[in-house]
Amino acid sequence: MSKHAIPLPNGRKINWPTAVVLFFLHIGAIAALFMFSWKAFLVAVALHWVAVGWGISLGYHRLHTHQSYQCPQWLQYFFAVCGTLTLEGGPMFWVGTHRVHHAHSDEAGDPHSPRLSGAFWSHMGWILFGETHHNDTALMAKFAPDLAKHKFYWWLNTYHWVPVTVTGLALLAFGGLPMFLWAFCFRIVYGLHVTWLINSATHIFGRRRFETSDDSRNSFILAVLTFGEGWHNNHHAHQTSARHGLAWYELDISWLTLKLMKATGLAWGIRTAKLESQVLERKAA
């Protein structure tokens, strides 16, 4: 697997289309604060759970990248569509980038390592600078060959911006400006930053339960904000475990959702790590 197809910190050329879109989304997110409405806020919360909770955490991450459980094909496709609503790119791009992160965590080749390239790069610099290959589906197929077998994922990866654009126009048309600012601009900006904090903050701040070779850490606050993704040190130690919060007090909303999916027959073959496997436990670094 070539590790040079993923953006690395040597690219200092700003990615203008991405930068302009992110700039206007941030303006919209700030404007939302001056147009508060409970209805718009609650729609934003619901869409955040669908996009980040289902799309990123249960979909792109635990299902598509790590195959930590199985579910019906239609649900796999549905979760992938939910993932595109975050504006974090299509499934093959996301999965490919994340697999390279695990293959080279905090070593040469990691697309977003604070140890190698600093906190800003690991948070959003890697998105803003250089070529991010969002739409280069043929290239991303090398990193996600399992997804590349599905025509649907090829289409969705190339046109990942279509579902989110349609959603934005529908929110504006049927809900008006406050609904658009909250459920589109604010919701996307918030979702991007909490996801990016997993790449930046949980490789810098927090407690390490497992002595992994990378700098990954566990963060309760980020676990609450990301439906359980904040137990990032647990995850690096047990990458194929569908359960990231391993102790009863480690809130993992995606794990609770998965238990509900299992009870209703929507998920099976669920892989989990046991807390007793923590032979290398140590105090916070």
Write the CB contacts of 126 (distance below 8 Å, at least 6 apart in sequence).
7, 9, 111, 112, 117, 132
Q: How far is the CB of 102 from Zn ion (least distance, A)?
A: 6
**Closest to Zn ion by CB, 94 or 190:** 94
**Residue 138 C-beta: closest distance to Zn ion, Å:** 24
Closer CB to Zn ion, 28 or 230, in the complex: 230
Asked whether the beta carbons of 16 and 138 are under 8 A apart, the reply is: no
Q: What residues have CB less than 8 Å from 229, skipping those under 6 apart?
A: 56, 57, 61, 195, 198, 222, 223, 235, 244, 254
Closer of 182 and 231 to Zn ion (Cβ): 231
215, 50, 149, 145: CA torsion to nearest 10: -10
Of 216 and 218, nearer to Zn ion (C-beta) is: 216
Question: C-beta of 214: minimal distance to Zn ion in Å?
Answer: 6
Cα torsion 245, 248, 249, 250 to 10°: value is 0
Q: Which residue has the tokens 């105090």?
A: 283
Q: How far is the CB of 34 from Zn ion (least distance, A)?
A: 36
Question: Which positions from 237 through 276 interact with Zn ion, judged by CB under 5 A?
Answer: none
Which of these, 186, 242, 199, lies nearest to 62 by C-alpha position?
242
Question: How many residues sit close enough to Zn ion to count as binding (CB under 5 A)?
Answer: 1
68 touches 271 (CB < 8 A): yes
Q: Tell me the closest approach of the beta carbon of residue 120 to Zn ion, in angstroms.
A: 17
Q: Minimal CB distance to Zn ion: which residue?
A: 216
Give whichever of 133 and 244 is closer to Zn ion, judged by the CB atom: 244
Q: CB of 241: closest distance to Zn ion in angstroms?
A: 10
Q: What are phi and psi of 175, to 5 degrees?
A: -115, -15
Q: Which is nearer to Zn ion, 148 or 242 (CB)?
A: 242
Specify the stretch interacting with Zn ion by CB under 5 A; choose among 155-163, 214-222, 242-250, 258-266: 214-222
Task: Give contact residues for Zn ion (rule: CB under 5 A).
Answer: 216
